[in-house]
Amino acid sequence: MSSASPMIHGWINLDKPVGISSAKAVAIIRKHLNCSKIGHGGTLDPLASGVLPIALGEATKTVSYVMNSAKTYEFTLVWGNETSTDDSEGSPTLVSDKRPTREEINSCLNEFMGVIKQAPPIYSAVKVNGTRAYSIARSAEKKGEDSQLTLEPREVIIHDLVLTSLNQNEASFTVFCGKGTYIRSLGRDLARRLGTAGHISALRRLSVGKFDVKDSISLDFLTSLRDSACAYKNVISLLTALDDIPALSVTPEDAVRIRMGQRFPYYQEGAIKDQVCVAICEGEAVALITLDLGVIHPVRVFNL
């Protein structure tokens, strides 16, 4: 696309393929759409595929709302080996001949639902004294050393966890979980609880908030588009990321004041303190605001 391509504001519901990082997917789209402002709503490892919401233009101001959304995954857990990375890319660290039965698995799934504690994989983006955990682990691996890295368990929430298939060597699950959940850790801990060893061999994200894999588009399809008009047809309104936030209808005059960063009274029945809203004028997003006891406070203005 040429340098004259218009700025695109909104979201692309990308089905990221296996084999590339989220950052690589963003870089490809940035170049193809000639988009200077771009980001994504939650990292997927190269091993994983599925929903990767891509924010374009002013939609980048709503990324945090997507990253905090609940997510759905399907994953396959291979029995027999726990690995250094908790997936198929690592070297074996624990071996077991035990193969759990369907009854054993189903009997313990409830223990992994609700608010639980899990230690992130050492090959993760968690920072340790300012350095990413995966950098520390990889540095030790290159030297042939054990990283001796231990990450503190943290609380996450699992809304639902279901066994979907089982054979002698592996089991598949779907999980609906809150932000910050590591599926590799979940698989590792589930195998340990069952008295065996295991690692994730396949991982696919089915949804992120309102973004669902059924409505996603492939990277190959997106890059096959040769002009911005075609690209626009696949861009979703930036309001998609704000579906769970109350909408506040404002007049064109109010919209001007909000875009200028002004605070002003707004009649509100049953005044609430510090309520986050999205101000909308004639169907267009104006800004994220707080409505504090009947006074509008602009927070993030959308320059559409």
Question: Could you list the active site residues?
Answer: 45
Residue 209: name the closest of 230, 236, 249, 172 by CA.
Answer: 236
* Residue 286: Cβ within 10 Å count: 24
| Pairing of the two strands 198-208 and 211-212 | antiparallel
Residues 6 or more apart whose CB falls under 8 angstroms from that of 156 comprise 115, 116, 117, 118, 177, 178, 179, 180, 181, 182
Spatial separation of the C-alpha atoms in residues 238 and 288, rounded to whole Å: 12
Spatial separation of the C-alpha atoms in residues 190 and 181, rounded to whole Å: 14
CB 149 within 8 A of CB 133: yes
Residue 249: name the closest of 284, 199, 295, 297 by CA.
Answer: 284
Strand partners, 265: 295
Backbone angles phi, psi at 226, to 5 degrees: -110, -5
- Which tokens hold the place of 40? 């994504």
CA-atom Rg of the chain in angstroms:
22
- Which tokens hold the place of 107? 């009997």
Rounded alpha-carbon distances, angstroms, from residue 273 to 3, 106, 296: 45, 45, 11
Spatial separation of the C-alpha atoms in residues 209 and 55, rounded to whole Å: 14
